[in-house]
Amino acid sequence: MAPIEAHVKEPLLKLEDLPTPAIVADAARVEANLALMARAHPGSALRPHVKAHKSTALAKRQAAHGHRTFCAATVREVEGMAAAGLGEDLLLANETLDATRLGEVVRSGARVTVAVDSIETIEAALSGGVPEVLIDVNVGLPRCGCAPEQAGALGEEARRRGLRVRGVMGYEGHIVGLPERDRREAGCEASMQMLLAAHADVGGDIISAGGTGSYDCNSWATEIQAGSYALMDTAYAQLGLPFVQAFFVLSTVLSVSSDYAIGDAGLKCFGMDHGNPALPGARVLFCSDEHVTFVPGRGEKDRSPSLLDWELVGPVRVGDRIRLVPAHVDPTLAYHERLYVADGDEIIDEWEIDLRGW
């Protein structure tokens, strides 16, 4: 697989030239993660979830590793993927009550499947012009999805109304982040037994499930909906997965006191639902709107679960650059317009985060 090549004009920018805050991906680390997952789940055994990065440029790298089927969370993501020439097989893994825009994507020549879990969502697919569906099954996560025992009847109703039912999907999102592998495995199996029972009633070729946290313990699904593996975050790093931390938020130190320092990356830069970002070698106290407050370290080994082996943060001065590791990749990327791609300290590309918004 060819490495990521430079696509910026000379002279190449350096990390130190970037306006901050900025998100930066390490090209070699991204490629290592993509290659590792492609070996574990080659081709259509993986349906990469673009909600994690919201970038058609990164999706094209996933396609270059052999993945031509994709998963999306929003209609906007489906539209953008199709417009970028990645519409071979797109799954909106969410319910919608207005599939009109999806129907337009279908008429443009893309293949679109939508998740349904009720008569109302079946009717939305029909009226919107989307001919293919998956029956979404609740396998333990209190989110969308019908009860497993209702799946067969919904599948029959969808077929009766002229839709093609490709199979079932169910996300074991309540267990993918469990740090204890034995609990993660047991929870995954319990969820998949429910999904298999539903599939027996529904039929179809597809059993779609899983994520980065269960990619190596879900042997029941025909395809895994993983996305975070490409870039990673500190929440998934706690699981001991083989994927490496491949991106960070670059920030500039604005102020230094005797007890703490301030960087220019705050709440508006990070998905905070999984906690503060990490700063290898230092301790993050809190984030405010535009600032991160941290206690600089002394250069000792970082003990935070970030899987990040870039330089550690010791004593800092005003103007220094620091690399913060987000706790949750998906919402963090959605806050930014572009992802800079680096080879060492050189910026070799810029990937637009073009699937943002709705």
- Please report, for the domain that includes residue 346, its CATH number: 2.40.37.20
Task: Give yes or no: residues 65 and 155 share one domain.
Answer: yes
Task: Give yes or no: residues 214 and 254 share one domain.
Answer: no
Task: Give yes or no: residues 188 and 258 share one domain.
Answer: no
Q: Of the candidates 160, 191, 225, which is a domain's last residue? A: 225
Note the pTM of the prediction, 2 decimals: 0.92
Q: Of the candidates 176, 195, 225, which is a domain's last residue? A: 225
Task: Give yes or no: residues 282 and 140 share one domain.
Answer: no
Whether 3 is covered by a domain: the verdict is no
Task: For CA atoms 50, 52, 58, 62, give the dihedral sign.
Answer: negative
Distances (CA, A) of 240 to 62, 216, 234: 23, 12, 11
Task: Give yes or no: residues 265 and 181 share one domain.
Answer: no
Task: Give yes or no: residues 185 and 271 share one domain.
Answer: no
Query: Is the confidence at residue 17, as pLDDT, over 80?
Result: yes
Task: Give yes or no: residues 211 and 344 share one domain.
Answer: no
pLDDT digits (tens, 9 = 90+) for 331-352: 999 999 999 999 999 999 999 9
pLDDT digits (tens, 9 = 90+) for 182-204: 999 999 999 999 999 999 999 99
Q: Angle CA(170)–CA(62)–CA(87) in degrees, nearest 5?
A: 70
Q: Which CATH number covers residue 63?
A: 3.20.20.10
Domain that holds residue 325: 247-352
Three-state secondary structure call for residue 129? coil
Distances (CA, A) of 108 to 79, 120, 343: 10, 25, 37
**How far apart, in whole angstroms, are the C-alpha atoms of residue 201 and residue 159?**
13
**How far apart, in whole angstroms, are the C-alpha atoms of residue 121 and residue 185?**
32
Kindly report the length of the chain: 358
Task: Give yes or no: residues 213 and 323 share one domain.
Answer: no
Three-state secondary structure call for residue 29? helix
Task: Give yes or no: residues 168 and 68 share one domain.
Answer: yes
- Residue 172 has φ and ψ, to the nearest 5°, of -85, 50
Q: Of 184, 244, 247, 192, give the one whose Cα is nearest residue 222.
A: 192
- CA 278 and chain centroid, separation: 19
Task: Give yes or no: residues 91 and 194 share one domain.
Answer: yes
Q: Of the candidates 166, 194, 225, which is a domain's last residue? A: 225
Using pLDDT thresholds of 50, 70 and 90, give the confidence band for residue 13: confident
pLDDT mean over 288-301: 81
Domain count, the chain: 2
| Beta bridge mates, 13 | 347
Q: Of 247, 189, 237, give the one whose Cα is nearest residue 213.
A: 237
Among the residues of the chain, which ranges form H helices? 27-40, 56-64, 75-83, 100-107, 119-128, 151-160, 181-202, 234-237, 329-334
Using pLDDT thresholds of 50, 70 and 90, give the confidence band for residue 305: very low
pLDDT at 302: 43
Whether 16 is covered by a domain: the verdict is no
Task: Give yes or no: residues 208 and 286 share one domain.
Answer: no
Task: Give yes or no: residues 251 and 204 share one domain.
Answer: no
